[in-house]
Amino acid sequence: MPSFDVVCELDRHEVGNAVMQAQKEIAQRFDFKGTDTEVELTNEGIVLRSNSSGRLDAAREVLQSKAAKRKVSLKSFDAQKVQPAGGSTWRQLIVLKEGISKESAKEIVKAVKDSKLKVQASIQGDLVRVSGKKRDLLQETIALLKGKDLELPLQFTNFRD
């Protein structure tokens, strides 16, 4: 029976490249001179630091533009609120969303069932497997899920006949 998987994966290598490009641009731009603005990739996400919240917003925009050019979905960036980091510096953490949560998986399954297509969707860990009798039905399901406005960057993998 044909099937495919709905996943939410993040290409860590491309995120690292986007962070490096943002660091280079921030180091070269005149409006960032003397602001001690930094972009750093850590285990918990991307950390932005600067001496003003305005420069922090500008650094986040630079990072987002570099990520978009590297085909990293901005839906996977969850920017936390700006916090004072001691002295006259500000800090912001951008958490990288990866994997499909149980609530989002249930929402995907509900959307597939409400579409009245003759396919079955099942939650398997952090992915949703959709199977049906015909390949055309699976392609319609992919189009349906692409049309839905979910807060996750979905990918469709493991398409099997």
pLDDT at 14: 92
Q: What is the location of CATH 3.30.70.990 in the chain?
A: 12-96
Q: Are 64 and 57 in contact (CB under 8 A)?
A: no
pLDDT at 69 over 90: yes
Q: What is the pLDDT of residues 77-95, one digit of tens each?
A: 999 999 988 888 899 999 9
Q: Is the pTM of this model over 0.85?
A: no
Q: What is the location of CATH 3.30.70.860 in the chain?
A: 3-8+100-160
Query: Percent of the chain beyond pLDDT 70?
Result: 100
Could you tell me the fold of the domain covering 3-8+100-160?
Answer: Alpha-Beta Plaits (3.30.70)
pLDDT at 150 over 90: no
Q: What is the pLDDT of residues 120-146, one digit of tens each?
A: 888 988 888 999 888 888 888 888 888
pLDDT at 52 over 90: no
pLDDT at 26 over 90: yes
pLDDT at 48 over 90: yes
Burial profile 108-141: b = 16 or more Cβ within 10 angstroms, e = fewer: bbebbeebebebebebeeebbbbbbeeeebbeeb
Region 12-96: CATH code: 3.30.70.990
Question: How long a stretch of residues is the chain?
Answer: 161
pLDDT at 161: 78
